[in-house]
Amino acid sequence: MYEFYLLDIDNTLLNFDAAEIRSFRKLLESYHISYEEELFRHYKKINKNFWNLLEQGKVDKETVLIGRFKELFAYLGLEADPSEAEKRFQNHLSDSDDKMPHAEETLLQLKSEGKKIYSASNGVYNTQIKRLKAAGLFQYFEGMFVSEKIGYEKPDKSFFDHCFKKIKDFDKSKTIMVGDSLTSDIQGACNSGIDSCLYTPKGSSTSSKATHTINDLRELLSL
């Protein structure tokens, strides 16, 4: 049975999709730009490309966070400071408390069974902590592993090696990585030699690399 749970945050415990679109709307409002679905899709494409480069180790986190808005502003023909836009965007994200279905009840049950729960996220540290607190989930964790503090990104093996060293009485055979991303969560688990669980609430993803696949977080309780 698993004793140590490394849990991704975005779109695993917290609904990042909902938080992202709301924060993007507010960001545009601050620049007096009207929100359009096409513009949001263009931003998502830019953002995804940057995060893919980060996972491949081709750029650093700052390049991702600033570069996405620099490219967006160039597309809009807007002269604005991308660093300031990133600060505004993170502030909006920090206020988001949208949870994924059954996230809290699952964490509560795991905690009551004596499981050790840790976050394992590629996000911005302060933003992730604030969001977990706003959602009422922070108290369920034994520790917080966020790439910005660690210095490595999932799926880099070094990210997981850091986590393993910090977990008391760690046992790799009793550890599982849970997340929605094939490229960071599942691949990272493979790279580090631990079991994995792909969370796919819409039932849209499968992977032969994942040890388990679930569509409902409550399924974690029966693994």
Model confidence pLDDT, tens digit, residues 108-120: 999 999 999 999 9
| Neighbour count for residue 23 (Cβ, 10 Å) | 20
The C-alpha atoms of residue 81 and residue 219 are separated, in whole angstroms, by 45
Predicted local distance difference test score (pLDDT) of residue 15: 97
The catalytically annotated residue of 8, 10, 180, 195 is: 8
What pLDDT score was predicted for residue 2? Answer: 97
| Per-residue DSSP letter, 180 | S
pLDDT given at position 94: 93
Report residue 2 as tokens.
Answer: 């698993």
pLDDT in tens, 127-185: 999 999 999 999 999 999 999 999 999 999 999 999 999 999 999 999 999 999 999 99
Query: What confidence tier does 18 reach under pLDDT thresholds 50, 70, 90?
Result: very high
8: annotated active-site residue: yes
pLDDT score of 202: 81
pLDDT score of 55: 87
pLDDT tens for each residue of 74-107: 999 999 999 999 999 999 999 999 999 999 999 9
Please report the pLDDT score of residue 155 as a whole number: 95
Q: Over pLDDT 90: what percentage of the chain?
A: 94
200-204 mean pLDDT? 82
| pLDDT recorded at residue 203 | 76
pLDDT reading at 206 higher than 90: no
Question: Residue 63's pLDDT is what?
Answer: 96
Q: Is the model's pLDDT at 48 over the cut of 80?
A: yes
Distance, CA of 177 to CA of 185 (rounded, Å): 7
What the block records as the tokens of 131 is 């969001």
The mean of the pLDDT values for the chain is: 95
